[in-house]
Amino acid sequence: MEMINIKINGMPFSVEKNTTILDACRSFGIKIPTLCYLRDMNEIGACRMCVCEVKGARSLVAACVYPIDREGTEIFTNTPKVQEARKTTLELILSNHDKKCLSCPRSNNCELQNLCKEYGIEDENRFAGENPVLPIDTSTAHLVRNNNKCILCRRCVAACKEQHVGVIGANDRGFDSTIGCAFDQNLSEVACVSCGQCTVVCPTGALVVKDETTKVFEAIADPEKVVIVQTAPAVRAALGEEFGMAIGTNVEGKMVAALKRLGFDKVFDTNFGADLTILEEGTEFIDRVKNGGTLPMITSCSPGWVKFCEHYYPDLLPNLSTCKSPQQMTGAIIKSYYAEKEGIDPEKIVSVSVMPCTAKKFEHKRNNEGRNGIADVDIVITTRELGEMIKRAGLDFVNLPDEDYDSALGIFTGAAVIFGATGGVMEAALRSVADILTGDDLKKIDYTEVRGTENIKYATYDVAGMEVKVAVASGLSNAAKILDDIRAGKADYQFVEIMCCPGGCVNGGGQPIQPASVRNYVDIKAERAKVLYAEDAGLPMRKSHESPIVKKLYEDYLGEPGGHKAHELLHTTYVERKIN
């Protein structure tokens, strides 16, 4: 490693040669503003917010892409010239921006708004732009695209490409340039997989999740309705960030307390459905191995991944497990077993789920996700939307006392909790499959080889004398590599876990938005995943088949895992979808 001596704002520092100005400054505690830059994803030096002076350079340079390659380089990050340039950049952006901060969903968490405040923008109309009124795309179930608030930073384009989807890009050129789908189609008309990764990187209110909180408040206020909520494992690992708590704080108890204070009649845990999923999926896997079914079997609990497979790899749909996701399984049991047991008319139940995922908003409306016209889940809100509901209700979230889930469908094992991180479903499945096949209560339950945020993980296990090869991928570009291998006949593994979002659900498109200044330097997905693995390690039951409520459900109602009734309620079908 070659080190060189430089000066930043007159102070001497030593840096590795070719470090960018942005990274060098960051490591010495000097913040440089950015709008387009996303580490390893969108390093295009386009927005010009990060400009700095370098002694001897003819013009200001973009710090995010300028490598420091000369001994003695002198950099100035905060001169009046630099400040004026950044301010002018902001004013030019504002000249064509729909400046309605008061009604904007991203107000108070908008990188553009924050920079305008930081740089003391006094006249937001200093430059007059054309301000054309562009159509707002509300065509999908999961998000709203409002190009009137777009600053053309292209982060969303990079995120969508990173997901191996690439359905959004720049249309037209120069002043007419807009971000959208080919031929200005709506997002619902193209093969968007609903992952929402574009919404978490967008610095402004141009891409936001479709807000369904009003529907939830209305349901709660309706005395005729029984409103039951379930929360996915990854939500507890991130919701605190909406209230300024540190990344990686487990807020399970406070979240349950908040949901009860919001007025939900019952608060259940999607972890129940995750344990149930393992019983069904594990049984399906054993059956496929023993009876010559399609292998490798691929997990099906990530709806963005399922939609990706339907659009881009429909020939591999037979490899998908037929199990519904934990959200849908929990919803199905709420409206059947639980409703019958409690004597509640399922038509009166409003089943709400809180998810880290925007694709769940699509999933619950799919065909075959309910029975006799009764949907398994009625309304899906994201972690961010729950944060908004709690704020609107005036709850002091940070100081709420911890409360427990309602026990009917609120008891869970550690195996269920780790569903929220990449590798978690595989580990949970292996814990149960190994016990079921050996008939033992095995002590080895930590399958550490499939943990961690690496893109793709492979491992081989001896399960009851049988060699089981597994693969785990998160993020759809990584999934595509595995799928291409399967297609080419090069895959020798029997079981595959795929999660749509990089790092798994902890990094889902509905999770709290951290600005790029944090995302670029903190491994958010790893910090949130730690919450789940810590909870798993501390729980008395860590295997899904140990769950007493799941056992009772089979004894009293479903019969055998994989049996007729279980299939009717807990399994689904897939369709081939077009690519535009």
Instruction: Determine whether 565 is exposed, middle or buried from the number of CB atoms within 10 Å of its CB (0-12, 13-18, 19+).
Output: middle
- The window from 191-199, 234-242, 398-406, 566-574 that contacts ligand SF4 (CB under 6 A) reads 191-199
By C-beta, is 415 or 513 nearer to ligand SF4?
513
| Shortest spacing between CB 195 and ligand SF4, in angstroms | 4
Residues facing 5 on adjacent strands: 14
Per CB under 6 A, the list member of 54, 82, 115, 207 interacting with ligand SF4 is 207
Query: Among residue numbers 230 through 249, which ones bind ligand SF4 (CB under 6 A)?
Result: none
The rounded distance, in Å, linking the Cα atoms of 203 and 77 is 22
Token pair 């996915």 in the structure block, residue: 232
DSSP letter assigned to residue 409: G
The dihedral formed by the CA atoms of 77, 82, 85 and 87, expressed in degrees to the nearest 10 = 70
Instruction: List residues bridging with 267 in a β-sheet.
Output: 229
Nearer to ligand SF4, 167 or 259 (CB): 167
Which range binds ligand SF4 by CB under 6 A, 62-70, 196-204, 290-298, 368-376?
A: 196-204
Choose between 168 and 491: whose C-beta lies nearer to ligand SF4: 168
Contact status: 274 vs ligand SF4 (CB under 6 A): no
Residue 34 or 77: the one with the smaller Cβ distance to ligand SF4 is: 34
Give me the least distance between CB of 534 and ligand SF4, in Å please. Answer: 30
- Closest CB to ligand SF4 among 46 and 549? 46
- Between CA 32 and CA 521 the distance in angstroms is 13
Name residue, tokens 């199905």. 332
Compute the least distance from the CB of residue 401 to ligand SF4, in Å.
34
Residue among 89, 113, 383, 494 that touches ligand SF4 (CB under 6 A): 113
Q: Which stretch binds ligand SF4 (CB under 6 A): 161-169, 394-402, 417-425, 427-435?
A: 161-169
Tallying the residues shown for the chain, one arrives at 580
Cβ-in-10-Å burial (0-12, 13-18, 19+) of 122 comes to exposed
Shorter beta-carbon distance to ligand SF4: residue 37 or 533:
37
DSSP class of residue 254?
H
Other CB atoms within a 10 A radius of the CB of residue 17 amount to 14
For ligand SF4, give the closer residue by CB, 104 or 381: 104
SS3 299: coil
Span of 188-196, 267-275, 459-467, 539-547 interacting with ligand SF4 by CB under 6 A: 188-196
Closest CA to 418 of 499, 476, 359, 353: 499
Binding flags for ligand SF4, 410-439, as an x/- string (CB under 6 A): ------------------------------
Q: Which of 360, 372, 373 is nearest to 328 (CA)?
A: 360
Backbone angles phi, psi at 105, to 5 degrees: -60, -20
φ, ψ of residue 250 in degrees (nearest 5): -85, 115
With beta carbons less than 8 A apart as the criterion, state whether 324 and 370 touch: no
Give yes or no for residue 202 binding ligand SF4 (CB under 6 A). Answer: yes
Looking at the Cβ atoms of 117 and 341, the one nearer to ligand SF4 is 117
Shortest distance in whole angstroms from residue 109 CB to ligand SF4: 8
> By C-beta, is 37 or 405 nearer to ligand SF4?
37
- Our CB check for ligand SF4 shows the closer of 194 and 270 to be 194
Distance CA 227, CA 263 (A): 8
Binding mask 72-111 for ligand SF4 (x = CB under 6 A): -------------------------x-xxx--x-xx--x-
Of positions 197, 277, 351, 413, contacts ligand SF4 by CB under 6 A: 197
Q: By rule CB under 6 A, what count of residues binds ligand SF4?
A: 39
Burial class for 557, CB neighbours closer than 10 Å (0-12, 13-18, 19+)? middle
Cβ pair 402, 256 in contact under 8 A: yes
CA distance 135 to 186: 10
Which residues within the stretch 137-156 sit at the binding site for ligand SF4 (CB under 6 A)?
Answer: 149-156
CB 516, min distance to ligand SF4, A: 10
Out of 64, 160, 380, 553, which residue is the one contacting ligand SF4 (CB under 6 A)?
Answer: 160
Residue pair 33/86 in contact (Cβ under 8 Å)? The answer is yes
Query: Rg of the chain's alpha carbons, rounded to an integer?
Result: 25
Which residue is listed with tokens 């990173």? Answer: 162
Query: Which residues contribute to the site for ligand SF4 (CB under 6 A)?
Result: 97, 99-101, 104, 106-107, 110, 112-113, 149-156, 159-160, 163, 165, 167-168, 179, 192-198, 201-207
